[in-house]
Amino acid sequence: MRSGIFRCWYMQDSQAVKYRVKFSKKGALRYISHLDVMRYFQKVIRRAEIPVKYSEGFSPHQLLSFAYPLSLGYTSDGEYLDMVMTERVNEEEALRRLNECSESGIKILAVKELDEKARNCMACVFAASYNITIREKITLPDDFCKKVIDFFGQETIPVNKPKKKNGGSVLIDLKQYLYDFRMIDDRTFYICVNSGSETNIRPDFVAGSVCEYCNVVPNENPFYIHRVEIYENISDNENVELRALI
């Protein structure tokens, strides 16, 4: 999905228009994997008779690009995909038709035409925000909230981040990749962290680090994680300025 085919193809056709779709994933459908969601959308688009553009060749496929895979079991209010259409469509009408053809667990929240030169949504992803809940089955110390606030309030937050390959871990300062934090309730906190392709901070990793700091032992399936939003960085200098993908 990260390949450049999507963009270069689009350049070749002056008629084609690019759209971004925002959707939520909730309820029972949180047990559908990212791969299944991709196949699901191919079918939703067909059922909705949306004029999506197909690739050339003997077995053409729809030109879709998903922003950022959501782990199985997570819910989300901020999922994105880009699609190329063969012609300009009415955004409201497309939204209505997609929703009519989708199960209620996956709800289309917005459809927006993109600028011709816009980068595809996957390339835009810079940060994502989450609500992380420690499940009831896990006993928390009385001062858990305070400790979580302490953790995120540190001058630097040294954590061992597991490497993608060959196991092992690398010491990083989480503070540099943390853009926002607040407590939501006794067991739930909100974070906004970097999700760029190089330093992708996983929410379960952050939650695990919090537990370690608070001396809480996370057993099997300890967190309930909800993705709130995905952001791009629109700053043109070294600062970070976040804006939701739609």
Partner 1 sequence: MNDNLALSDDILMSVEKPARYIGNEVNAVYKDPDKVDIRFVMCFPDVYEIGMSHLGIQILYDMFNKFEDTWCERVYSPWPDLDAIMRKEKLPLFALESQQPIKDFDFLGITLQYEMCYTNILQILDLAGIPLYSSERTWDDPIVFGGGPCSYNPEPVAEFFDIFYIGEGETRYREFLDLYKKLKGTGISRNDFLIEASKIPGMYVPSLYEIKYNDDFTIRSIEPMHPSVPRKITKEVVKDLNDTFFPTAPVVPYLKSYSDRINLEIQRGCIRGCRFCQAGQVYRPVRERSIDFLLDTAVSSLKNTGFDEITLSSLSSSDYSKLDELIEGLIKYCDENNINISLPSLRIDAFSLDIMSKIQDVKKSSLTFAPEAGSQRLRDIINKNLTVQNILNGCEQAFIGGWNKVKLYFMLGLPFENDEDINGIANLANDIAALYYETVPKEKRMGRAQITVSTSFFVPKPFTPFQWASQDRKEDFIDKAYRTRKAISGVLNQKSIKYNWHETDTSVLEGVFARGDRRLSKVILNAYKKGCIFDAWSEYYKNDLWLEAFEECGISMDHYTTRERPDDEIFPWDMLDCGVSKEFLLREWHKAKEGVPSPNCKEKCNGCGAASFGVGICRTHKQ
Q: How far is the CB of 43 from partner 1 (least distance, A)?
A: 3
187 token code pair: 């067991």
Q: Which residue has the tokens 């330093």?
A: 199
CA dihedral (155, 158, 161, 166) in degrees, to 10, reads 150
Q: Does 40 bind partner 1 (CB under 8 A)?
A: yes
Q: How far is the CB of 154 from partner 1 (least distance, A)?
A: 31
Collapse the DSSP code of 35 into the 3-class scheme (helix H, G, I; strand E, B; otherwise coil) and give the result: helix
Nearer to partner 1, 154 or 221 (CB): 221
Which among 180, 174, 181, 179 is positioned nearest to 158, based on CA atoms?
Answer: 174
Distance between CA atoms of 48 and 139, rounded to whole angstroms? Answer: 47
Size of the site for partner 1 (CB under 8 A): 31
Nearer to partner 1, 133 or 195 (CB): 133
Helix (H) or strand (E) holding 81: strand 75-85
Binding partner 1 (rule: CB under 8 A), the pick from 2, 60, 176, 235 is 60
Q: Does 42 bind partner 1 (CB under 8 A)?
A: yes
Query: Do the beta carbons of residue 40 and residue 25 sit within 8 Å?
Result: no
User: Which range binds partner 1 by CB under 8 A, 34-42, 82-90, 164-172, 188-196?
Assistant: 34-42
Question: What residues make contact with partner 1 under the rule CB under 8 A?
Answer: 27-29, 31-33, 35-36, 39-40, 42-47, 49, 54, 58-60, 72-73, 101, 103-105, 137, 220-221, 224
